Structure 1
């Protein structure tokens, strides 16, 4: 068995693998569209005796980390034929993919898991959740129309991209969408109507993508940049009251909802969504805006990564003295697996746990008390205090 890139002439076979594994069927039009926008060189296949046994795609994307774009490898379309499962093929493919991400400078990797325990074994960890809020007709949000107005418009990224990018920088791990992503993954896949809120200066300050069907409004995205645009969009939702029995709204877990609603006693469902993985720990630590105190003792992290051995070792984080960014010194683990600097001090944690902490999915204290971080409580508090507060969220899918 060896691993290579998918070839152009194998695209049809690759699509059939995905249809079989994920139990869907594309129309001929959808099939041709898929071939047109999928780059075969982004897919790795495991081949034996001329037969493709398994495949995995890595999408070259970027996400916002504290307002800055960071290269991310999005893992998608992981498929093995049933007769070749449980033989380690996917693990080999994913390790190869991570090695290639490392070479390409993709510091992070995201994926939507079919099995969280499976991907945890290879270093990914949950970082993003979605909240689904369901409102009855009587609970429709109160809003003020104000001096602006909402317009239903044709799908056009020029109308909403600035709003999205401004909003996305406020969160951690949001996708930095480009034109291609908007057209294929948002306008094509999130079927519905696009409505934009414009203030009195005719500036777009919010938008929503929604669908009304069988007396139900499904809000797939709703983004506002200020309270004026929020109130205007809320009023627009309520203007549909004669058509609706309920509204189902996908949003952030800690967005202020449902507290800011007129009637917060609504149905809520929290859904585990995307997983993240640090591909290159040293590079990620170097760009991470830690809050460290000048002149304080270095924060020492002993990181273990059973899947990507290049991350194993000890990291010393010290304040640079300029913006509070950390100076990172990395001491790789010896081939035996032990650190060059034995953990007499500092915190010991896995790459999954480190990812959860730095992506603000879980606090260091929580993971310490659950036994996932070893060290002193004082060092745990120092790590927790060094991580800036910003909510993780992911609105997209691949």
Structure 2
């Protein structure tokens, strides 16, 4: 029977839910009242009348160099056991990439269960979704005093404050409203979790928000932070201070925040530890578009001649010249193609991975010392990522 790749068919959302449960060990029942996505956001594999695989995409805007870059978030890649070995996952990913390119997404991000599958589709690991365990007693709670109020978990203020902070941190992303709708619906249906959401204001203006839940730990409870955002360093500190006030019932705060946000409010960072790590991967869907969309260091000027290999998005392939100057960059077709790079190499450079480390790993082998210096000066970033999707 022929395997076909297409959008989800009418009436197949319950089948999609069953595939997700089987693949990821879920136990929740299908909820017909859940928010409905555009059918074209689902790329599905069918054997005859039966759906045997799916990929779901979201519309994000990921921050790079202080600018919002259109990003396709990839989630829920599943193939049922009877359909494996037919190339279904690669074909679904190829179609998802085609659609993302058509919709104007210039980069794509995902969390892999196995990196090799997605590396074949042009993705590369560029960072970690890291959750840090912070002793409650280690948080400096003596910062800005805000007026706090409890709000519903679906409050638009929570999303707005998160999106504002996301616009200032590389790797963070403004979230697709559809994704927020799915998330809010799941949270409302999950009565087994004690979850709380607070918004803090200063002089009548909302400046901070935090959403957290209690999680049973070996030593009493931990507070698992799901969203924490602030308009400035004092607001972030106030949100952490609100959590620190739970010291009689919780031993730790666990949060996916970078050291740049945590450091000013935790004098003894050595007391923190890594609660969990999960790699995340990036792909340049439209390499010239991705290069043009982000911000670059204003002090860097020059050019590098590249020969790009991209088997999945062939429009990116071939000889290009990377031109940098004035805080802008362009990837222009032409040049000698002197330095051979894969689309995965470009993803790592885009995300600020160590240029010397790439060379040591036998990448960029044709690059001269001048080329390497230019790339090292231009490709500067330390991305983190705040939400699991």
TM-score normalised according to structure 2 size: 0.86
Query: Which of residues 382, 388, 392 in structure 1 aligns to 2:374?
Result: 382
Question: CA separation in 2, counterparts of 1:131 and 1:316?
Answer: 35
Question: CA separation in 2, counterparts of 1:232 and 1:397?
Answer: 24
Partner of residue 76, structure 1:
75
Partner of residue 335, structure 1:
none
Partner of residue 302, structure 1:
307
Q: 1:325 to 1:227 in 2, by over 3 A?
A: closer
Secondary structure of 1:277's partner?
A: strand
Question: CA separation in 2, counterparts of 1:175 and 1:297?
Answer: 29
Question: CA separation in 2, counterparts of 1:230 and 1:101?
Answer: 34
Secondary structure of 2:374's partner?
A: helix
Q: Following TM superposition, where does structure 1 have runs of at least 4 consecutive aligned residues deviating by more than 6 angstroms?
A: none
Contact 1:277 1:355 in 2 (8 A): yes
Secondary structure of 1:236's partner?
A: helix
Question: CA separation in 1, counterparts of 2:84 and 2:381?
Answer: 39
Contact 1:258 1:265 in 2 (8 A): no
Question: CA separation in 2, counterparts of 1:184 and 1:52?
Answer: 22
Contact 1:133 1:266 in 2 (8 A): no
Secondary structure of 1:234's partner?
A: helix
Partner of residue 5, structure 1:
7
Question: CA separation in 1, counterparts of 2:157 and 2:59?
Answer: 25
Question: CA separation in 2, counterparts of 1:158 and 1:91?
Answer: 37
Superposed displacement of residue 170, structure 1: 1.0
Q: 1:99 to 1:252 in 2, by over 3 A?
A: same
Partner of residue 33, structure 1:
33
Partner of residue 57, structure 1:
56
Partner of residue 255, structure 1:
260
Contact 1:132 1:249 in 2 (8 A): yes
Question: CA separation in 1, counterparts of 2:46 and 2:381?
Answer: 43
Name structure 2 gaps, 5 residues minimum. Answer: none
Q: 1:308 to 1:203 in 2, by over 3 A?
A: same
Contact 1:76 1:112 in 2 (8 A): yes
Question: CA separation in 2, counterparts of 1:223 and 1:44?
Answer: 33
Superposed displacement of residue 371, structure 1: 1.4
Question: CA separation in 1, counterparts of 2:181 and 2:103?
Answer: 26
Secondary structure of 1:53's partner?
A: strand
Aligned length: 376
Secondary structure of 2:11's partner?
A: helix
Name structure 1 gaps, 5 residues minimum. Answer: 332-340
Query: Which of residues 150, 153, 156 in structure 2 aligns to 1:152?
Result: 150
Contact 1:123 1:305 in 2 (8 A): yes
Q: 1:236 to 1:298 in 2, by over 3 A?
A: closer
Question: CA separation in 2, counterparts of 1:89 and 1:226?
Answer: 46
Secondary structure of 1:95's partner?
A: helix
Contact 1:109 1:277 in 2 (8 A): yes
Q: Does 1:238 align with 2:241?
A: no
Contact 2:308 2:340 in 1 (8 A): yes
Q: Does 1:185 align with 2:187?
A: no
Contact 2:119 2:344 in 1 (8 A): yes
Moved more, 61-70 or 167-176: 61-70
Question: CA separation in 1, counterparts of 2:146 and 2:52?
Answer: 56
Q: 1:145 to 1:95 in 2, by over 3 A?
A: closer
